A and B are shown apart, each in its own frame.
Chain A
C-alpha cells in the first residue's frame, strides 16, 4: 500500500464515520434492543421483567391469532400488489397512448396517492357505509355488509389500498415508457409487428426492471400494512383483517406486552428482510443478464 492509498483509506473511513454512527444509533441499537426485549416477559404495568428465552416465539408458533394474522398479511400483500401492478401498468399505457390531457390525467392519478392513508380510510368508510354508502346505493337494493362480513372485509380493505397506491406503480411505469427510444418502435413497425407483438416483445420487457423496483417497494409496504385496516375495521370482523403489524400494535401499545409485542415486531422485520433480500438478488441477476 502506498502512502497515498493509506491516506485515501483513512479519509474514506473518516467520511463514512457519520453515516455508520447515525445508522448504528438509529437502526442497529433499537433493532438489537427489540430482539433482546422479545426474549423477555416484560410488562411495565405489572412490574414483570424476567428472561423468557424463546417462550414468546414458541407461543407464536401455536397462537391461532398470529397464524390468522400471518395468513391475512400474506393474502393482503399478494392480492393488493398483483392488482396494483396490473392496474398500474394499464393506467400508464393508457396515459402514454393518450394524445392530450396527459398532465391532467397524471395529476388526478397522483391525487389518490398523495392522500394520507387515514384520510383514504375515512373516505372508504363512507363509500362502504352500509345504508348511505355510495357503493351500496350504486348496487341498488343489494346492500352489502362490506366491513362487517368476514368474507368481504379483507377484499374491501384491499380495494382501498389498490385505489390509493396503484398510482405509484403507474407513475413509475409511465416515466419508463417515456424513456423507451422511439427507434425501437419504428424498427418493430418496419418488421411488421402488430400492436400486441409490440406490447409483449418491446414495451413490457422494457418495463421489467422498473416493475421489479415498484413491486419491491409495494411488497415491503404491504407486509407492514397498518393504517387502512386499523381505521376501517380495527382488524375485525373476527380478526379477518388483522395483519401482523396491527397485532403487534395491540400487543405493544395497547396492552403493553413489551416482550410478546417485540417478538411480533421481530417476525415482521425478518419477513421484510427476507423479501427485500430475495428481490435484491432477483434485481442483481436481471441486471447481469440484461
Chain B
C-alpha cells in the first residue's frame, strides 16, 4: 500500500520540476557538483535520492552528491564545526539541527538567504520553524522538517477506567495511580520520559519549566529569571521518580529506551517525539491500535502544557562555490512537493502547515491533522548562538537534581553561577 502511494506524488513532483527547470538559467561550461550533507532518513523508503535526481534533471550539468552525516548529533556538530571553522569548501547545502542555526549564523559560516527569498515565501511554514531559522532579523536556514514533544497514552487502559487524556500533571498522576491499582501488574510503569544526562534531558526540563510558568532564559537574556519556580519544576520531576510514578531508570533513559519500554506495552504514558507513533502502529507492535497522543500536560493552576519543538533546517555554506545553485537546491528540498514526498516516504513531519490536511498524507498518517495543532502550540528551546554552551552547562546540574545528589535549589543556583561566568566571557 505504502509503496504504491508513492508514485502519484512523485510523478506530480517530476512534472512540476520539469516546468521549474526552464526558469533557472546557468552559463554553459564545466559540470558543477553540489555537495549536500544530511543525516540518513529512516522510514519505509528514503525519498532523498529521488529528490536529488529530480533536481539534477531540472538543472542539466549539475550533479548533486548526497553525503551522509555521522550518526549522532554530537558528531554531526563536530564535523561541521571543524570543516566550517577550517573554511573548507567541502559542502554547499547542509542540514542543521534547529538549535545550531543561530550559532552557525553568528560564526559567519552560513550564507544570508534573506535576499534570495520572496517576501511571503516562508509564510506557509509554521511560524516557530521560520523563527528558528532566523538570527538578527535575517533568514539563514529554510525549515525542512519539524518535531514537537507529545504525550503518548494507552487508549485501551484509559478507556478501561473511563479516563480522558490528562490535561494537567495532577490528572496524569491520578490516572497512573488508578490504572496501576486496578491492573495489579508490577511490570506496568506509569509515566516514561527522558532523564539521561544529554540534550533530551534539557528538553524535558524545559517542558517542565514551561508548565510551571517559567523559562531557562528570560526575554532580556537573564539566566533562569525565576529560580524558585525553576527549582520547583525540578523538584516535581524528581518527585515523579521518588514516588515511582516514573521508573528509577528514567535517569538513564533517552528517547529510544523509553520508546521501547512503552512500545512493549510496559507503560501507560510516554513523552516522546512524533516519530514514535509510526513505530507503535507498525505491524507486530505490541501496542498497535492502542496508542494515541495529546498535548503534554500543564500544571493545575499553572500554565497549559506545551511540547518543545525541534527539527532540521537546510542552510547554504558561505564557502559554497555555487551559492545560487545551492540556494536553489535548498529551496527545492524544502518545497511543498519535496516535503510531501518526505512525509510519505519517511516518518518526518513537514514544516508546511497545509500538508497536515493533505488528503493523501492524512490517509497514510491519520494523526496528521491533530499533529498540526500540537506543532502550532509547541515552543522552541532558547534561540541563542550560545545554546550548546547553555545546554551542556545545565545538563549535569539538572541531572544532579533528578538523581538526588543536589537539592533542586542548589542545582539551579549552580547552573546560574556557571552560566553567568561562561556567558560573561563571550560578551
B422 touches A257 (CB 8 A): yes
Q: Determine chain A's interface SS by DSSP, over half rule.
A: loop
Contacts of A48 in B (CB 8 A): 425-426
Contacts of B249 in A (CB 8 A): 130-131, 143, 145, 148
B74-114 to A contact mask, C-beta < 8 Å, 1/0: 10011001100100000000000000000100110000000
Tell me the minimal C-beta distance from A200 to chain B in angstroms.
Answer: 43
Among candidates A45, A253, A260, residue contacting B107 with C-beta atoms closer than 8 Å:
A45
Among candidates B82, B248, B405, residue contacting A238 with C-beta atoms closer than 8 Å:
B405
A131 touches B425 (CB 8 A): no
Among candidates A41, A64, A146, A240, residue contacting B425 with C-beta atoms closer than 8 Å:
A41
B residues 391-420 in Cβ contact with A at 8 Å: 392, 395-396, 399-400, 402-403, 405-406, 414, 418
Tell me the minimal C-beta distance from B202 to chain A in angstroms.
Answer: 12
Contacts of B418 in A (CB 8 A): 65
Tell me the minimal C-beta distance from A224 to chain B in angstroms.
Answer: 18
Tell me the minimal C-beta distance from A154 to chain B in angstroms.
Answer: 13
Among candidates B85, B195, B388, B422, residue contacting A44 with C-beta atoms closer than 8 Å:
B85
Interface core residue of A148, A235, A257 (most chain B CB under 10 Å): A148
Contacts of A250 in B (CB 8 A): 392
Contacts of B78 in A (CB 8 A): 253-254
Residue of B nearest to A55 (CB): B425
A46 touches B252 (CB 8 A): no
A59 touches B421 (CB 8 A): yes
Interface core residue of A65, A238, A260 (most chain B CB under 10 Å): A238
Q: Given the complex of chains A and B, what is the CA–CA distance between A148 and B195 in angstroms?
A: 9
Contacts of B74 in A (CB 8 A): 254
In the complex, A155 has a CB within 8 A of chain B: no
B197 touches A233 (CB 8 A): yes
Q: Given the complex of chains A and B, what is the CA–CA distance between A253 and B388 in angstroms?
A: 10
In the complex, A239 has a CB within 8 A of chain B: yes
A45 touches B414 (CB 8 A): no
Tell me the minimal C-beta distance from B190 to chain A in angstroms.
Answer: 14
Q: Given the complex of chains A and B, what is the CA–CA distance between A233 and B389 in angstroms?
A: 19
A237 touches B399 (CB 8 A): yes
A residues 206-265 in Cβ contact with B at 8 Å: 233-240, 242, 250, 253-257, 260
Contacts of B85 in A (CB 8 A): 44, 256
B240-277 to A contact mask, C-beta < 8 Å, 1/0: 00000001111111000100110000100000000000
B399 touches A145 (CB 8 A): no
Residue of B nearest to A235 (CB): B197
A45 touches B399 (CB 8 A): no
Q: Given the complex of chains A and B, what is the CA–CA distance between A155 and B385 in angstroms?
A: 37
Residue of B nearest to A141 (CB): B186
In the complex, B126 has a CB within 8 A of chain A: no
Q: Known contacts A233-B197, A255-B392; is A149 also within 8 Å of B248 by CB?
A: yes
A130 touches B252 (CB 8 A): yes
In the complex, B313 has a CB within 8 A of chain A: no
B338-365 to A contact mask, C-beta < 8 Å, 1/0: 0000000000000000000000000000
A65 touches B396 (CB 8 A): yes
B257 touches A130 (CB 8 A): yes
Residue of A nearest to B414 (CB): A64
Contacts of B388 in A (CB 8 A): 254-255
A237 touches B81 (CB 8 A): no
Tell me the minimal C-beta distance from A253 to chain B in angstroms.
Answer: 5
Q: Given the complex of chains A and B, what is the CA–CA distance between A103 and B306 in angstroms?
A: 61
Residue of A nearest to B385 (CB): A45
Contacts of A235 in B (CB 8 A): 197, 396
B residues 213-253 in Cβ contact with A at 8 Å: 247-253
Contacts of A64 in B (CB 8 A): 414
A45 touches B106 (CB 8 A): yes
Residue of B nearest to A238 (CB): B400
In the complex, A43 has a CB within 8 A of chain B: yes
Q: Given the complex of chains A and B, what is the CA–CA distance between A285 and B426 in angstroms?
A: 50
In the complex, A31 has a CB within 8 A of chain B: no
Contacts of A129 in B (CB 8 A): 257
Q: Given the complex of chains A and B, what is the CA–CA distance between A45 and B101 in angstroms?
A: 12
B403 touches A150 (CB 8 A): yes
Q: Given the complex of chains A and B, what is the CA–CA distance between A148 and B395 in angstroms?
A: 14
Among candidates A41, A59, A131, A236, residue contacting B196 with C-beta atoms closer than 8 Å:
A236
Q: Given the complex of chains A and B, what is the CA–CA distance between A65 and B394 in angstroms?
A: 11
B261 touches A45 (CB 8 A): no
Q: Given the complex of chains A and B, what is the CA–CA distance between A255 and B389 in angstroms?
A: 5
In the complex, B198 has a CB within 8 A of chain A: yes
Contacts of B251 in A (CB 8 A): 145, 148-149, 236-237
Q: Known contacts A130-B247, A238-B405; is A256 also within 8 Å of B252 by CB?
A: no
Contacts of A257 in B (CB 8 A): 389, 422, 425
Contacts of A41 in B (CB 8 A): 425
Residue of B nearest to A64 (CB): B414
B252 touches A237 (CB 8 A): yes
Tell me the minimal C-beta distance from A72 to chain B in angstroms.
Answer: 11
A43 touches B425 (CB 8 A): yes
Interface core residue of A235, A236, A242 (most chain B CB under 10 Å): A236
Residue of A nearest to B198 (CB): A234
Q: Given the complex of chains A and B, what is the CA–CA distance between A240 and B403 in angstroms?
A: 11
In the complex, A147 has a CB within 8 A of chain B: yes
Contacts of A147 in B (CB 8 A): 196, 252
Residue of A nearest to B108 (CB): A47
A145 touches B252 (CB 8 A): yes
Q: Given the complex of chains A and B, what is the CA–CA distance between A145 and B388 in angstroms?
A: 28
Q: Given the complex of chains A and B, what is the CA–CA distance between A257 and B388 in angstroms?
A: 11
B282-322 to A contact mask, C-beta < 8 Å, 1/0: 00000000000000000000000000000000000000000
User: Can you list 7 A-B contacts with CB-CB less than 8 angstroms, sorted by A residue number?
Assistant: A130-B253, A148-B196, A236-B251, A238-B399, A238-B402, A238-B403, A253-B81
Q: Which A residues lie at the B interface, using CB under 8 A?
A: 41, 43-46, 48, 59, 64-65, 129-132, 143, 145-150, 233-240, 242, 250, 253-257, 260
Across the A-B interface, give the 9 residue pairs with the lowest CB-CB distance, nearest first.
A236-B197, A148-B252, A130-B249, A148-B251, A239-B396, A238-B400, A147-B252, A255-B389, A46-B426
Query: Given A44-B85, A46-B385, A238-B399, 11 other A-B contacts at CB below 8 A?
Result: A46-B386, A46-B426, A130-B253, A145-B251, A145-B252, A236-B196, A236-B197, A236-B252, A237-B251, A239-B396, A255-B389
